Chains A and B, each alone.
Chain A
């Protein structure tokens, strides 16, 4: 079975400071991992995805994430937060069941950015 745990329900930062959103995963084999972002009252949008080609993955809007197999982690970072980054962020692990592709979501981390 696969699962994903987002370690913080809320993260608060000041504009211009670094962002770290933490995600640990559990997987019986090499997983595919994703980060999605949801701005207030909007649908979800893909930020980035890891599929074993490279451990450091760059996404949109200056976000990146590093896959660390030894730590079973896939933390999302950004060097400098912007007010527009305030949103809900979801870590997602894919799994397969009988040949079907089933994404499983973490509970989400709300990023708050202070001026």
Chain B
């Protein structure tokens, strides 16, 4: 299995507080992604990174920010958590060699976030 660790695994927080989720990989893969999973919506892309300090928005990026200061770490921050951000968050990585767009994703175990 790919070396991907998400932390924390579970988090309960209150509306309005900041929350940071961490994704750590040991594979030296170029691409890292944050998805959220909600019933009936599948996985929706929040943000992704294609290299150190290179990030871009996905389809549901409002209310989220990310940072990637090292190849191995990709942080997702909810600046001021809202109840609509209660979800399961998955980190994924991919080798992503330039020009090769058939790379599979490797997933972390997920973080269950509850915003009360």
Number of interface residues of A (CB under 8 A): 29
Q: Would you call A14 an interface residue if the criterion is a C-beta within 8 Å of the partner chain's C-beta atoms?
A: no
Q: Would you call A17 an interface residue if the criterion is a C-beta within 8 Å of the partner chain's C-beta atoms?
A: no
- A-B CB contact pairs (8 Å), 21 listed: A6-B42, A32-B102, A43-B107, A43-B108, A43-B109, A44-B92, A51-B102, A92-B105, A94-B101, A98-B56, A99-B50, A100-B50, A100-B96, A101-B31, A101-B94, A102-B45, A105-B42, A106-B42, A107-B41, A107-B42, A108-B42
For the complex, give the distance between the alpha carbons of A74 and B104 in Å.
17
**Once A and B bind, how many residue pairs between them come within 8 Å at the CB atom?**
64
Nearest A residue to B95 by beta-carbon distance?
A101
Number of interface residues of B (CB under 8 A): 27
Residues of B within 8 A of A49 (CB): 102, 104
Interface of A is mostly: strand
Residues of B within 8 A of A (CB): 31, 33, 35, 40-45, 48, 50, 56, 58, 90, 92, 94, 96, 98, 101-105, 107-110
